[in-house]
Structure 1
Amino acid sequence: MELHQLRCFIVVAQELHFGHAAQQMNMLPSALGRYIKLLEEELGTRLLSRSTRNVSLTPHGKIFLEEAQRIVTLSDELLERFQNISRINAGRLRIGAIDSAAVGLIPHILHIFCDNNPGIEIQIMEDKTTKLLPRLKSGRLDLIFIRPMEQMDESLETYFLFYEDIVLAVADTHKLATLKEIHIDNLLDVPLIVPERKIRPHSHDLTLKLFEHTTFKPRLIQMADEKQTIINMVAADLGAAIMPRWVSRMSIPHVKFIPLAKEYENIRKKLPIAAVWIKDSRDEARDKMLVILKNELAKIAEAY
């Protein structure tokens, strides 16, 4: 049963004349008659009594007319509601981003976007992946840049961007500060500051993954969840921290950032960044932003 069938039946029920109803629907009377017949066959009951001169509603037809009108009215109201939302959002783009994306990716594409679309208002929210996903699904954000989960919601469209490089942050007085690159054996008995897993699962698992094939366990200390706080802890020589390379741009004195040895490049896959939006949704401003993102992606990825 389709909405178009319901609309056809409602017009026939109101006109009680197939010819007049067909004119309103811009259809041939024979085609309109087939729609009504198929509807009756699907319902398993007669809705209209037909004679050579008259068309009238059966008792079931009268009941069905009320329900059909209610359904069509609700459908029209729903359509109008979301068309209004679309018109309101046409001049606005609400973006959510994790800290990694907010530092380099967002400013890069935003500069180009604003030059090309000066009339569109931009709203940006920085938060964790676990906070941004519900806001996207509830319609409070239009586009988010996050760490994608292994299994993403089927209602979402996910566009992978890149993996981030990884460094070890240590105090400049630390015994490891003179090294050119870090091997996991260098971290024996080195306290590592990690965020709580339920707060930052990717960052927490990143550190553990490095020790997957070692003969010793890492010394983990959970002192802070925010990167700024973690770096300050490192500066105070309370421990080292495995972090995304972009953190090295933060102006923090007394901290040295050392790259991991090439043999650990696969660990980068623990720090993916993806663009995510609602699947099959229409948003002109968002789509313009995505075009810019795809065009600039190679340049952006080099900074990470």
Structure 2
Amino acid sequence: MELRQLQYFVKVARKQHVTQAAEELHVAQSAVSRQIHQLEEELGVQLFVQKGRNLQLTAVGKLFLSRVEGILTDLERAVNEIHEYLDPEHGEIRIGFPHSLGIYLLPTVVAHFRKSHPGVKFRLRQGTYNSLIRDVVKGEIDLAFISPFPEKHDRVCGELLLQEELYAILPQGHLLSEYKQIRLEQLKDESFVMFSEEYSLRSIVLEACAKAGFTPQIGFEGEETDTIRGLVAAGMGVSLLPEMALTEISELQPAKVRVVDPQVTRSVGLIHRSSEKLPLVAGVFQRFLLDFFRDK
């Protein structure tokens, strides 16, 4: 059994398509098919079945994938640790983040860090609350910015970095758009532009509306802050967004109004696996972040 076979197997399992896997691996489709066939012959099992134009993992294929992913992750970590041991200033940090923190916060802290550590590389992964925790637990990333910060979790731990206020965003010209602050109850008859169910900002807004005594009417749903902001600016409804998601300047910009009664906030933290020590360079970045936000 060769390392290449395992790498090809994981790529095909993720893409569910030999041609797409071969394109990402920059090899011929026949080479991928041959390696998968040889792997199945050596194991004596069928790892994939054809389903339409795609390949689907068999039950034993799913079991094998869960083990192989762990092996490849451990191998990658071992290689990175050797490189860091030889020269920590040229290591790689694997970090995850939600979209709302990728607009301003992540580029800001990375830029500040690289001023004193210019040789360090970053591998970035965007995800939702649940997917970021899963990727940290599986060891696919070292650190993750996350919101809300999980106060208690069996597999991850970390530090609270900040509490961020959420603002109401309204179409320009809305009756409330010129107010300095509003009560959330004043939006009870409005159509809301809301995040999809897997995004934590949705639950934060729903809980705030419940505290204000109403259930919001949801007219549109989206998955990124710039989509939410653009729909509101186009007059499709109202919403609540974190302040950091409202820093971008564009032609289509909604009005921003502070919300009181209740004030709406979210916690932002940094997590890592609780069972393992961070790689050297990731530990350096973690300490930098704690100092960075402590001085804010």
TM over 0.5: yes
Structure 2 residue matching 1:264: 3-state secondary structure: coil
Q: Where does residue 260 of structure 1 map in the other structure?
A: 259
Structure 2 residue matching 1:272: 3-state secondary structure: strand
Q: Where does residue 230 of structure 1 map in the other structure?
A: 228
What is the one-letter code of the residue matched to 1:146?
I
CA RMSD between the two structures: 2.5
Query: How many Å separate the matches in 2 of 1:247 and 1:158?
Result: 23
Shift, 1:152, TM fit: 4.7
Query: How many Å separate the matches in 1 of 2:185 and 2:156?
Result: 41
What is the one-letter code of the residue matched to 1:256?
A
What is the one-letter code of the residue matched to 2:221?
M
Q: Where does residue 97 of structure 1 map in the other structure?
A: 97
Q: Cα 1:214–1:127, aligned 2, differ >3 Å: closer, same or farther?
A: closer
Aligned residues: 216
Map Cα deviations across residues 206-235 of structure 1 (whole Å, 9 max, x no partner). Answer: 222223244543222243222111111111
Q: Cα 1:158–1:126, aligned 2, differ >3 Å: closer, same or farther?
A: same
What is the one-letter code of the residue matched to 2:223?
D
Query: How many Å separate the matches in 1 of 2:285 and 2:98?
Result: 17
Contact kept, 8 Å, 1:161 with 1:274, in 2: the verdict is yes
Whether 1:287 aligns to 2:283 is: yes
Whether 1:184 aligns to 2:184 is: yes
Q: Cα 1:211–1:227, aligned 2, differ >3 Å: closer, same or farther?
A: same
Structure 2 residue matching 1:260: 3-state secondary structure: strand
What is the one-letter code of the residue matched to 1:274?
G
Query: How many Å separate the matches in 2 of 1:168 and 1:95?
Result: 30
Contact kept, 8 Å, 1:194 with 1:223, in 2: the verdict is yes
Shift, 1:150, TM fit: 4.6
Query: How many Å separate the matches in 2 of 1:283 and 1:254?
Result: 41
Q: Cα 1:221–1:284, aligned 2, differ >3 Å: closer, same or farther?
A: same
Matches within 5 A, 1:111-260: 111-148=111-148, 150=150, 152-197=152-197, 199-200=198-199, 202-252=200-250, 253-260=252-259
Query: How many Å separate the matches in 1 of 2:148 and 2:214?
Result: 30
Give the percent of matched residue pairs that are identical in Structure 1 and Structure 2.
17
What is the one-letter code of the residue matched to 1:223?
E
- Runs (4 or more) in structure 1 with deviation over 6 Å come to 79-82
TM-score by length of 1: 0.64
Q: Where does residue 58 of structure 1 map in the other structure?
A: none
Structure 1 residue matching 2:181: 3-state secondary structure: coil
Can you give the 5+ residue segments of structure 2 that lack an aligned partner in the other structure? Answer: 1-73
What is the one-letter code of the residue matched to 1:176?
L
Map Cα deviations across residues 44-72 of structure 1 (whole Å, 9 max, x no partner). Answer: xxxxxxxxxxxxxxxxxxxxxxxxxxxxx
Q: Cα 1:264–1:254, aligned 2, differ >3 Å: closer, same or farther?
A: same
Query: How many Å separate the matches in 2 of 1:291 and 1:278?
Result: 16
Query: How many Å separate the matches in 1 of 2:103 and 2:295?
Result: 14
Q: Where does residue 293 of structure 2 map in the other structure?
A: 297
Map Cα deviations across residues 82-114 of structure 1 (whole Å, 9 max, x no partner). Answer: 654521465111111112332333233322322
Q: Cα 1:249–1:82, aligned 2, differ >3 Å: closer, same or farther?
A: closer
Query: How many Å separate the matches in 1 of 2:110 and 2:166?
Result: 25
Q: Relative to structure 2, which stretch is displaced further, 98-107 or 243-252?
A: 98-107
Query: How many Å separate the matches in 2 of 1:184 and 1:82?
Result: 47
TM-score by length of 2: 0.65
Contact kept, 8 Å, 1:142 with 1:277, in 2: the verdict is yes
Query: How many Å separate the matches in 1 of 2:111 and 2:75?
Result: 34
Structure having the higher strand fraction is 2
Matches within 5 A, 1:61-72: none
Q: Where does residue 52 of structure 2 map in the other structure?
A: none
Map Cα deviations across residues 179-227 of structure 1 (whole Å, 9 max, x no partner). Answer: 1111123113111111222x21x21122222232445432222432221
Shift, 1:237, TM fit: 0.7
From 269, 272, 281, the equivalent of 1:277 is 272
Contact kept, 8 Å, 1:145 with 1:273, in 2: the verdict is yes
Q: Cα 1:110–1:188, aligned 2, differ >3 Å: closer, same or farther?
A: closer
Larger Rg: 1
Query: How many Å separate the matches in 1 of 2:153 and 2:114?
Result: 30
Contact kept, 8 Å, 1:196 with 1:222, in 2: the verdict is no
Query: How many Å separate the matches in 1 of 2:130 and 2:180?
Result: 35
Can you give the 5+ residue segments of structure 1 that lack an aligned partner in the other structure? Answer: 1-78
Q: Cα 1:299–1:193, aligned 2, differ >3 Å: closer, same or farther?
A: farther
